[in-house]
Amino acid sequence: MTQLEEEFEQAFATMPLIAVLRGITPAEVDPVFDALVDAGITLVEVPLNSPDPLTSIEKLAARRPSGVCIGAGTVLTAADVARLQSAGGDMVVTPNTDPTVIDAAVQSGLIPVIGCLTPTEALIASRHGARVLKIFPASRLGAAYLNDIRAVLPAGSRLLAFGGIGRQEMAEYRLHGADGFGFGTSLYKPGRPAREVGLLARDVVNEWKCLAAANA
């Protein structure tokens, strides 16, 4: 296991929630990031369709504390993977299942978090080296769908529920096997003050801790 893989495993084990900062600007990324980390978030994604996303990722990569991983979301091409690696990012988060992107992430030593919905997509992602699968959009098929798709996946696959999930939905998805979650506009949206983002993050972190304790 590489050092980055070990760091990701530590971050994931600590808090398997990805904060998605879609639309964030380099000017506001530092205070929002600090608020998230203070709340207990260890996985942060800046989607590539945000304003000047690589600058934001570079800033975060240069100042992140130990135990926190930074990634890019909406990664669509192998060239995007190369740019993320140059910016110092750790995670390649995709909305879809593209083997060329997964292969590029694996070859670059980055962590692929691959978007998929169908069993076919999930199995393709797994065969190309993805062990963390982003089930997206999870809310469209409901929490019980996680049980269905897990039945065909390799042992050890981890499923993150993304899309339309808020704090109130976490318990049901956890009951059906979600290993973690991604939060977008329910956590951050452009213009939301960092303090408010931090309070919302604290809510989902505390909810996860309660759910994890109940399942211990």
Q: Count the Cβ atoms, other than its own, within 10 Å of residue 123.
A: 18
Cis peptide bond prior to 137, omega within 30° of 0: yes
Q: Which member of 7, 28, 121, 134 is catalytic?
A: 134
Which amino acid does the sequence have at 41? I
Q: Is 134 a known active-site residue? A: yes
Calpha distance 174→183 (Å, rounded):
14
Residue 95 DSSP SS3: coil
Calpha distance 160→130 (Å, rounded):
12
Q: Which member of 7, 28, 45, 121 is catalytic?
A: 45
Is the distance from CB of 112 to CB of 105 less than 8 angstroms?
A: yes
Q: Is 45 a known active-site residue? A: yes
Positive or negative: CA dihedral 34, 38, 42, 44: negative
Q: Where are the alpha helices (DSSP H) in the chain?
A: 3-14, 26-39, 53-63, 78-87, 99-108, 119-127, 145-150, 170-175, 194-214
Give me the active site residues, please.
Answer: 45, 134
